[in-house]
Amino acid sequence: MASLNLRDALFASIEASKPLKKESQRQFFCIQQLEQFVGLLGPGWHVKPFGSAANSFLTRGGDLDVTCFHESVQDQDTSRAAHELQHKLLPLLSCHPRFKIVEEIWTARVPIVKLMFDETMEVDLSCHNPQALQNTYLLKAYAELDEQVRNLVLAAKLWAKSEGVSGAPGGHLSSYSLTLMALYFLQVEVGMPCLNTAAFSSKGSAPEVDNISWACGVNLVDLVTRFFAFFAGAEGGFQWGREVISVRKGRRLATNGLDFAMLPGRLTSRLHIEDPFLLARNLNCVLSLENEQLLRVKLGQAASTMYCGGIPNAFVPDAAESLASDTDVDASTTISTTVSAKSFSDLGPHASESPDSRFGALAKPWYQAAVRPADGRSEDSYWKSGGVSSALWGCSLQNPPAVATHNRLLEDMHALLHGAPQCLAPLPEDLPLPSFELRFEL
């Protein structure tokens, strides 16, 4: 019974970690906006997301990593990337109403401009970063081998976040490193095939990789339990300080082997994680000694708890259920004008209300548009709250009346939206009865 409870808790946690629909929509529009202004630089410029946002391991509340590049640039060039960001992209970003420049990091291995999109989503923008795309395609290929790959990676990430042992800025392992740990475990303990890193480039993967198939055959409870036991130092488990986590090789090898001749600090008694593409990069570089010891303690605690049939705190159902859901209202992103069928053709009372009284929940600079059809024409009433950084067009029908009236109103809305600016893109929408709603966001 305990095992069943643990299974349910794991799947509930993973399900609750999925990005909200509004987060996915926001990412879509952010990338769309970036593509539009990067396209102003001329032919050959592109924008692509990388990391968790593109490799199938994204969790709720995650930020967005994006790189822009010119198709003629094949290699990573730090100085060129910094120059392009500073002199070509920043001038465009600084005048874009939906982006706010938060921080500029020029001394990092990969120069980054940290942005805020619509005051709600963090975006890390880099330039000419092909290696990040290689990594993304590699991890995505592993995620697509079997659903248990994604489940284990997400479980590991959720656990690490809950226990406070993840996050490079705080001296912990990055989410990327934790993902590699899970993949390495699957390779050496469960038999997941090792994908040839040479088959991946910034443009995608080779057919030889695309044709590989594999079925895990191990249930999630056993996978997660064995994962913790392996890295906690169980008999036959990971040799901390003497073994390298290498997804590139996919087998257990000692730190003093020729395969890791380029790996910095490989002979020290530390946790060693090889970057699959940058062989001279040991991903333990961000991990402090104190936090490394904490990680080992937490791994041991999780292994002991699960072996005894318990549920680690990270997977307790109540914690998962407390997370926000897609039905929650975020005033800054989802408020639309609600118009009853009776008052649909007369918004006079609404128009007389001030922005503060009608849309008091709008604390951010949004532009609210209420729409009514009149004599076959669209007539707009606008409320302004703060500066104009985004537009939200909405019309909804609550408690639809007779079919004929319903169809007429739908025709009115169709006519309105047909005449709306071409830059308005439709949001994916659910159509629950008895209410009908269309939302459009610039």
- 27-84: pLDDT as tens digits: 999 999 999 989 999 999 999 999 999 999 999 988 999 999 998 887 777 888 999 9
- Cα 285–288–289 angle (5° rounding)? 120
pLDDT higher at 75 or 395: 75
Q: Which amino acid is at 133?
A: L
Q: What count of residues does the chain have?
A: 442
- Cα 157–161–166 angle (5° rounding)? 85
For residue 133, what pLDDT is reported?
A: 94
**Does the pLDDT value for residue 324 go beyond 60?**
no
Q: What percent of the chain has pLDDT over 70?
A: 71
- Rounded Cα distance, 258 and 261, in Å: 5
Average pLDDT over residues 342-354: 34
Closest CA to 396 of 358, 357, 433, 362: 433
Q: Confirm if 277 and 131 have CB atoms less than 8 A apart.
A: yes
User: How confident is residue 251, by pLDDT bands cut at 50, 70 and 90?
Assistant: very high
Closest CA to 185 of 141, 138, 232: 232
User: How confident is residue 344, by pLDDT bands cut at 50, 70 and 90?
Assistant: very low
For residue 207, what pLDDT is reported?
A: 82
- Rounded Cα distance, 183 and 253, in Å: 15
User: How confident is residue 5, by pLDDT bands cut at 50, 70 and 90?
Assistant: confident
Q: Coil, strand or helix: which one is 277? A: coil
CATH number at 2-14+133-321: 1.10.1410.10
Q: Which helix (H) or strand (E) holds 339?
A: strand 339-340
- Rounded Cα distance, 140 and 314, in Å: 25
**Does the pLDDT value for residue 300 go beyond 50?**
yes
Q: What percent of the chain has pLDDT over 90?
A: 60
Per-chain mean pLDDT for the chain: 78
Q: Which helix (H) or strand (E) holds 307?
A: helix 289-307
| DSSP secondary structure letters along 179-214 | HHHHHHHIIIII-PPPP-GGGEETTEE-HHHHT---
Q: Coil, strand or helix: which one is 253? A: coil
Q: Which residues, including other chains, have CB under 8 Å from residue 73's CB and lie 6 or more apart?
A: 80, 128, 130
Give CATH superfamily name and number for 21-131. Beta Polymerase, domain 2 (3.30.460.10)
* β-sheet bridge partners, residue 120: none
For residue 109, what pLDDT is reported?
A: 84
Q: Indicate the domain borders of the chain.
A: 2-14+133-321, 21-131, 331-441
Distance set, CA 336 to CA 97, 366, 369, 391 (Å): 20, 11, 8, 11
First to last CA, the chain: 51
User: How confident is residue 319, by pLDDT bands cut at 50, 70 and 90?
Assistant: very low
* β-sheet bridge partners, residue 173: 166
- 102-160: pLDDT as tens digits: 999 998 889 999 999 999 999 999 999 988 999 999 999 999 999 999 999 999 999 99
Average pLDDT over residues 367-380: 34
Q: Confirm if 223 and 148 have CB atoms less than 8 A apart.
A: yes
* β-sheet bridge partners, residue 380: 371
Q: Which residues, including other chains, have CB under 8 Å from residue 23's CB and lie 6 or more apart?
A: 60, 61, 121
Q: Which residues, including other chains, have CB under 8 Å from residue 334's CB and lie 6 or more apart?
A: 22, 439
Average pLDDT over residues 196-218: 91
For residue 237, what pLDDT is reported?
A: 96
